[in-house]
Structure 1
Amino acid sequence: MSTNPLLQPFTNKDQAVPFDLIKVEHYLPALDEAVKVAKENIAKIKANTASPDFENTIVALESASELSDKIASIYSNLEVANADEPLQALAKEIYPKLTALSSDISLDDEIFKRVKAVYDKRTSLNLNKEQTRLLEKTYLAFTRNGALLSAQDKETLRQIDQELSVLGPKYSENVLKATNAFEMVLDKKDDVDGLPEGVLEGAAAMAESKGHKGKWLFNLQIPSYLPFMTYAHNRPLREKMWRAFSSRAYKGEFDNQETVLKIVELRNKRAKLLGFESHADFVLAERMAKDPKTVKEFLNKLLSASKAAGQKDVAEIADFANKLDGLVEIKPWDFGYYSEKLKEDKYAFNEEDLRPFFKLENVVEGVFAHARKLYGLTFKENKNIPVYHPEVKAYEIYEEQSGKYMGLFYTDYFPRETKKGGAWMTQFRGQGLIENEMKRPHVSIVCNFTKPTPTKPSLLTYDEVRTLFHEFGHALHGILSECTYQSLSGTSVYWDFVELPSQIMENWVGEKEGLDLFARHYETNQPMPADLIEKLKASQKFQAGYMSCRQLQFGMLDMAWHSTDPGAIKDVDSFEDKATAETRLFPRVEGANSSCSFSHIFAGGYSAGYYSYKWAEVLDADAFEYFKEEGLFSPEVAKKFKDNILSRGGTEHPMELYKKFRGREPDPNALLRRDGLI
């Protein structure tokens, strides 16, 4: 028997991953073995002489690559959350092996014949809704991955998929390296004027850890970058930071331009091969939005409601900066700074006034309290469950009433050089049938929040609090899943529906009732004063037009990259310039480029899908209106949301699930109402 921990039975609580035993050298041999097992399982399905049916073909396929899926999920999660050079280097071997396996299965004629035989007689099989959905999804997975192509086209497709499997990780490695490459060490008090004491303390601790005792170090990780852009009086240094951030992986040593053009070209070639006009057409065929025309109309409708408001927002800031400091022309590196000053002026509070009430541990307790009040869940830390980094915590989840075990939950909150930027929810194991047994999920959230300092705990910005609630909303989608098949469970839903459970959770931290559960001063334990909550609420619509235009810019840039013929694209920068012209509220700055660090679409699964944040905002604004009508913690509405949306995964069409919850289709104006744009 192999001594490789990835191939041994996992013996921790609920077969939790033995992170303490897994080493870099274990991945490749384990994956090779797992691929062999998967191929044997496929061979067994093909060798079965019984006529193809739901169990011996569809369910058998669903479980054929369980072992390789398990190893892949462990590796791919660590590759973005905690990867040193040797672990990162494995990506070049691991992803092509996984892609080759999935190509082997999806391009196998005999397997597809069996799937098609079952699919063709689906109406006479007496399947329930979930079985029907799995059958349809399996059949579609084959046709969308080339099962109907000629032998020669299959070979071409296989090569394209191999190339793409390496380009995504390469793109994201460049972004990470470019982010880590920039450091700004300051030693003059004047250079750090305006920065809050907590931020300076963090910067001093970071400087000292890098051998610059008595100085301050700022970098491009969000907890360092954003406060600098928001509070630093020194305009030339803000410009320096902004330019460094906005040109990550554009030109220089870690340039992503070639990679972007190559990814776009291959995606388009792949879509064409499969009979679609463009990559966007291919992607959207499996989305609520259905096609690029619908998405473009949707984004344009929002833009016409947002643009004038966005221009007004910028004009107001420019006017304010002129009055305050005689600034003649406002630049992008001035916007965050004067925006914060104007907010103070208008609403008599400062984002930093909120921080003392958002000690990380209290916010985590707050998010757990929401899960308990809404869905009856409790979280209990278990220090015996292995974790992949000392900062990670593991919890067991239970239903409070019944005591039913609901799964495991991991949290990983702080930036480090081995972790990608941003925040995300992921799983080490999905909910559903595994090895013929119903299993509960192992869910994880990974963030990059403000770190504790030598004298202060981690005190979050309001934005970080919203991010935590957002990712926790995704986590609830995974945790509350009650499906039969893993591939339909939890967050395995249409991409433009997946953001509904996450975005709706953000609403509770804009309400007094929600904040009262956890927002307490880290020193005095006093609740956040009612007048501060009022000011916060009043400021919620502040610059909604500007923020909306910014999101629409990313959505439109994504659609442009994925619905334009790549043959017509000669240069990354001029293409971006043209694609964002309509949404821009500032003139373009030479040397700044967002396509080269737009990891969401080039390395993160959001290609032709970035619009879905806005799409889901419409759903979440409409859904939250229901909570507000019936009570923020209404047990009836929460139960409907849990039973029809959170627990159902992708077992039915999202619009059907939404209508079961709401009693009707979403009202598209709910979002514009919430943002005060109509």
Structure 2
Amino acid sequence: MNPLLSPFDTAPFSKIKNEHFKPAFLQAIEDAKAEIDAITSNTDAPTFKNTIEALEFSGQQLDRVSSVFFNLNSAETNEEIQKIAQEVSPLLSEFSNDITLNEELFKRIKSVYEQKDTLDLTVEQQTLLDKKYKSFSRNGANLSVDKKKRLREIDAKLAKLKLTFGENVLAETNKYELYLTDESDLDGLPEGEKEAAAQRASDKGKEEGWMITLDYPSYIPFMKYAKNRELRKELSLAFGSKAFHNDKLDNQENVLEIAKLRFERANLLGYKTHADFVLEERMAETPEKVHSFLNELLAKAKPAANREYQQLADFAKKLDHIDRLEKWDGSFYSEKLKQKLFDLDDEKLKPYFKLENVINGVFKVAEKLFGLQFEEVFDIDKYHELVKTFKVYDTDKNFISLFYADFHPRSGKRGGAWMTSFKSQWKKDGKNVRPHISNVCNFTPSTKSKPSLLTFNEVTTLFHEFGHGLHGMLANTTYPSLSGTSVYWDFVELPSQVMENWCYEKEALELFATHYETGEVIPMELVQKIKESSTFQEGMQTLRQLSFGLLDMAWHGIDPSEVTNVKKHEVEAFGDTTLYPETVETCMSTAFSHIFQGGYSSGYYSYKWAEVLDADAFAYFKEKGIFNKEIAAKFKDNVLSKGGTENPMVLYKRFRGAEPKVEALLERAGLL
């Protein structure tokens, strides 16, 4: 029996073998096709129920198989899984095209859509109808036969290219190892980081010495603390040149081909560029608005960034006679300057942020705001022994969600941090089916002498991903495709980014920031220093984020057919955001997974866009009290539970009473 083809509630990880995946995909695709055939062969006149709802609830088995498989391909992959991904991705792309290019199906949808003003639909039903119609019209339903054929070819190619891109980045990350045997090479590194590096060497079969890798928990502390400038340079160049070595793991051709195919696809569908196509379904609406938004912030942040960079360069020159500040100097001297200005460094803070305490802290914040209770359970099947599982309840003990937490790096797991789901939420036949949500991060693991202690940056990352998690857990909609984080992409970061604000508040920190050895609550002067330092180098940070948004638009808001040199194009895109001298050896585009593998193409600006929303939203909490139940209920009822059932600006205004103001962000960032 194939466990993926039997009905299951929680993913049956321990029963699944790699050989189950492909047959499960093939069978689930056939079953989903049969469900589509049942809709198109229905002789009754098309209605919302027999066409739109029937389509919405079709292919659920395929959705479950896909979520299990692709989540594993991100968090616990191996060569066999990657090979299967390359085989099944074109099949899924083809199936998706089979639906959107199905003329009989589109006729029925169009028929319902044309009657929409006479149908008595709820707001959510209207949204679903609109979304279904657009998913066809925006993806080729109105194209001629030869253009439909070309669209299928493009989509199949893109599916494979995106996977190859991600596999190359992961392989490059895993391939690089900086093995050190002279302890003086680790001068400046805190004891905990040295111990972690020794543990890493031991795990790699070395009897002595220290191992530094390109995984964040290894890379970032080395760049921040290691005094050896040459080694920082080596590591920085290795990190910055992932998939940019003109070898079999090089992504330059993949980048060019992905950009060109996306552009061709947009043209086929009647759009000027890929960005025009994407942004039609975003709050920002057009590439012009995105550029205007990014450039407005750039004008505000650039003077501050130049001052901060000059201050850092002067500081490095005075301290160590550094004549030219380079990229590999940034973190090191920023940390030193921050310590000098605020008498604050991560090593002072980390003992107060034991991972388990921070997890309990984010749970307590969720309890105080939204009445949620988290109970760790040990009878849920997991894909790795380090994953923790929790059942989430409301104050009346109603089951809300299952929550998986996976927090440490390993070779089969891609870098970064993300939220995902193994099962969506929906309502059907009088039953509210609850979601299964997962947070995946890469935090420093515990060592023989110390538990996992987080940097403050890792604390905010945990709160950020948990905000996405809440968006999924508290979903309360009828239809799965409108549930949880299925919202406009530039709205999806609001719940995650707003949660980070609680990390800076005394009332919240006192709930969980206790010293792992003494139990002492974090001293008030440290809390004050965290707040004071929160706008440290905010101009430079803002420029960095804007540079990523502008690079994204430079690939997707143009006709890329003339672009032949990835590096040259990137340097031009960075233009006014550049502070450090350019390094010929590095290239960001070849490892920019967010836009070339993930879903952020033409959408990277949304981090900054959502910062405006989150600064404005949190100002409301600050005004009324950060644990004010009334404001929290408004946020839950109008934002977290509503998913994509209505236009996000409508939802936001219902919560806040007005549109967000960019001044809230500029004020918080100290850029006014």
For the criterion TM > 0.5, the same-fold answer is: yes
- Structure 1 residue aligned with 2:7: 9
In the TM superposition, what is the alpha-carbon distance from 1:246 to its structure 2 partner? 0.3
1:36 matched residue in structure 2: 30
Q: Aligned partners of 2:28, 2:431: CA distance in 1, in Å?
A: 19
Query: What are the superposed Cα offsets for residues 265-293 of structure 1, whole Å, 9 maximum, x if unpaired?
Result: 10000000000000000000000000000
Report matched runs for 1:601-612 at 5 Å. Answer: 601-612=595-606
Which residue, out of 141, 147, 172, partners 1:147? 141
Is this contact kept in 1: 2:428–2:478, CA < 8 A? Answer: no
Q: Which amino acid aligns with 1:334?
A: D
Match of 2:555? Answer: 561
Matched with 1:455 is: 449
- Match status 1:622 vs 2:616: yes
Matches within 5 A, 1:464-475: 464-475=458-469
| CA-CA distance at 1:210 after TM superposition | 1.0
Equivalent residue for 1:509?
Answer: 503
Q: 2:517 aligns with which of 510, 513, 523?
A: 523
The counterpart of 2:332, out of the listed 337, 353, 370, is 337
Shift of 1:64: 1.5
1:23 maps to 17
* Cα distance between partner residues in 1 of 2:465 and 2:666: 23
| Distance in structure 2 (CA, Å) of the matches to 1:438 and 1:625 | 34
Matches within 5 A, 1:337-356: 337-356=332-351
User: What does residue 387 of structure 1 align with?
Assistant: 382
Match of 1:84 among 75, 78, 84: 78
8 Å CA contact 1:490–1:647 kept in 2: the answer is yes
Could you give the per-residue CA deviations for residues 117-174 of structure 1, whole angstroms, max 9, x where no partner exists?
0000001110000000000000000011100101111111011001011111110000
Q: What is the SS of the residue equivalent to 2:179? A: strand
Tell me the CA shift for residue 543 of structure 1: 0.1
CA distance in 2, matches of 1:40, 1:338: 62
The whole-number CA distance in structure 2 between the counterparts of 1:510 and 1:423 is 20
Please give the alpha-carbon distance, in whole angstroms, between the structure 2 residues aligned to 1:316 and 1:668: 27
The answer to whether structure 1 residue 298 and structure 2 residue 293 are counterparts is yes
Distance in 1 (CA, whole Å) between partners of 2:382 and 2:232 is: 38
* Aligned partner (choices 461, 474, 479) of residue 473 of structure 2: 479
Give the counterpart letter for 1:291 in structure 2.
T
Unaligned runs of 5+ in 2: none
> How high is the sequence identity, in percent, across the aligned residues?
52
Name the structure 2 match of 1:72. Answer: 66
Provide the C-alpha distance between the structure 2 equivalents of 1:382 and 1:295, rounded to a whole number of angstroms. 44
TM-fit CA distance, 1:100: 1.0
Query: After the TM superposition, which segments of 4 or more aligned residues of structure 1 sit over 2 Å from their partners?
Result: 433-438
Q: How does 1:53-132 map to 2 (within 5 A)?
A: 53-132=47-126
The residue that corresponds to 1:238 in the other structure is 232
Question: Which of residues 127, 141, 149 in structure 2 aligns to 1:133?
Answer: 127
* Separation in structure 2 between the aligned mates of residue 199 and residue 33 of structure 1, nearest angstrom: 49
Per-residue deviation at 1:566? 1.3
1:588 to partner: Cα distance: 1.0
2: CA distance, partners of 1:247 / 1:667: 38
- SS of equivalent residue, structure 2 residue 385: coil
Alpha-carbon distance in 1 for matches of 2:610, 2:459: 20
Q: 1:63·1:434 contact (CA, 8 Å) conserved in 2? A: no
- Letter aligned with residue 135 of structure 2: A
Equivalent pair of 1:278/1:565 in contact (CA under 8 Å): yes
Query: Is 1:398 aligned to 2:383, yes or no?
Result: no
CA contact (8 A) 1:343 1:350 kept: yes
C-alpha distance after superposition, 1:234-254 (max 9, x if no partner)? 000000000000000112341
For 1:500 and 1:414, locate their aligned partners in 2 and report how far apart those are by CA, in whole Å.
25
Partner of residue 410, structure 2: 416
1:640 aligns with 2:638: no
Question: Residue 254 of structure 1 aligns to which amino acid in structure 2?
Answer: L
1:214 shift after superposition: 2.0
Aligned twin of 1:658: 652
1:267 to 262, 286, 294: 262
The structural deviation recorded for 1:536 is 1.1
Q: Is the 8 A contact 2:100 2:141 kept in 1?
A: yes
Contact 1:31 1:68 in 2 (8 A): yes
The within-5 A match list for 1:180-195 is 180-195=174-189
SS in 2 for 1:397: strand
In structure 1, what residue type is equivalent to 2:271? F
Query: Matched residues in 2 for 1:141 and 1:322: separation?
Result: 56
Partner Cα separation in structure 2 for residue 96 and residue 60 of structure 1: 25
Displacement of 1:436 in angstroms is 8.1
SS in 2 for 1:294: helix
Aligned-pair distance for 1:255?
0.3
Deviation string 1:568-590 (CA, Å, 9 cap, x unpaired) is 20110100011111111112111
Q: Is the 8 A contact 2:313 2:324 kept in 1?
A: yes
Secondary structure at the counterpart of residue 391 of structure 1: coil
- Where 1:379 maps in the other structure, the secondary structure is strand
Counterpart contact for 2:350–2:455, Cα < 8 Å: yes
Distance 2:278 2:182 in 1: 52
Q: Any residues of structure 2 matched to 1:162-173 within 5 Å, and which?
A: 162-173=156-167
2:308 alignment counterpart:
313
Whole-angstrom CA distance in 2 between matches of 1:672 and 1:497? 19
SS at match of 1:90: helix
Contact 1:477 1:647 in 2 (8 A): yes
TM-score, with structure 1 as normaliser: 0.98
1:187, distance to aligned residue in structure 2 (A): 1.0
> In the alignment, what sits opposite 1:549?
543
Task: Please tell me whether residue 359 in structure 1 is matched to residue 354 in structure 2.
Answer: yes
**Could you tell me whether the CA contact under 8 Å between 2:124 and 2:645 is conserved in 1?**
yes
Amino acid at match of 2:168: N
User: Helix, strand or coil for the counterpart of 1:20?
Assistant: helix
Aligned residues: 671
2:207 counterpart of 1:213: yes
- Matches of 1:91 and 1:311 in 2, distance apart? 45
Secondary structure of the equivalent of 2:490?
coil
Residues 204 and 213 in structure 1, CA contact (< 8 A), matched pair in contact too: no
Partner of 2:253: 258
Gaps of 5+ in 1: none
Amino acid of the residue matched to residue 335 of structure 1? G
- TM-score by structure 2 length? 0.99
CA distances 1:337-372 after superposition (whole Å, capped 9, x unpaired): 000000010001212111000000000000000110
